[in-house]
Amino acid sequence: MFQTIRARRPRLVSAGAFALAALAAATLISACSNPVGSSATTNGGNGGVVVINVNNVTSPTPTFNPVTLGAWVSNMTPQQGDNITVYAFVRVQDPTMQGPSKPPQNLVTVTFNVNGTNGTAQTDSDGLAAYHTKATGQPTVPVVIVVTATVNGLPIHAQTFYTILPTAPPGVTPGATPSASATP
């Protein structure tokens, strides 16, 4: 009347199948880790430096850009029509990387594209340029600002953004604290 049900044991993967899968994984990883035309070597024994040779450049450290450009806005969340300033900071790096960056030797004209409109400003002796404009755009949608400069024949670009705050409905004071009501 009662029937005995025997539980099945899970099948174990054979050692040979496991070894074959491990070998295939190791082959794929090693094949993908070294691009064509490059080689990797180590200098020294324990804790040596890894040097990756790509297109005959054998530096363990990538080169730093010779000129940098940073950009930011004075107000990241303005109201529609607020005055804002977009700043750009141009620096020339010490080629030896032993000293600090410096402003360009000559003043640089910086172009600011804000919401499809181009404007320009000159850097000062510190490498700082400031462009004054009004905040326009659709509320809650970021407005991307593209900043461009050319230093020593090298064009450089940076981006920043601002987002217009939505307008409060009539009768609502932004930032007002709600108060308790005496009547339900």
pLDDT in tens, 7-23: 555 555 566 666 666 66
Task: Mention every residue, 6+ apart, whose C-beta is less than 8 A from residue 105.
Answer: 92
**Number of Cβ atoms within 10 Å of the Cβ of 143:** 19
Q: Would 122 be classed as within a structural domain?
A: yes
Q: Is the pLDDT of residue 85 over 60?
A: yes
Q: Would 180 be classed as within a structural domain?
A: no
CA 100 from chain centre, in angstroms, equals 23
Query: What is the residue-averaged pLDDT of the chain?
Result: 79
Q: Would 117 be classed as within a structural domain?
A: yes
Q: Would 89 be classed as within a structural domain?
A: yes
Is 175 exposed, middle or buried, given 0-12, 13-18 or 19+ CB atoms closer than 10 A? exposed
Name the residue range of residue 102's domain: 67-163
Q: Would 71 be classed as within a structural domain?
A: yes
Q: Would 119 be classed as within a structural domain?
A: yes
**Residue type (1 letter), 151:** V
> How does pLDDT run across 160-181, given as a tens digit for each residue?
999 999 987 777 666 666 666 6
Q: What's residue 167's pLDDT?
A: 83
Q: Would 109 be classed as within a structural domain?
A: yes
Instruction: Please report which confidence band the pLDDT of residue 97 belongs to, taking 50, 70 and 90 as the band edges.
Output: confident
Number of domains composing the chain: 1
Q: Would 2 be classed as within a structural domain?
A: no
Q: Are 40 and 52 in contact (CB under 8 A)?
A: yes
- Of 2-6, 36-40, 74-78, 176-180, the poorest mean pLDDT is in 36-40
CATH of the domain at 99: 2.60.40.1930
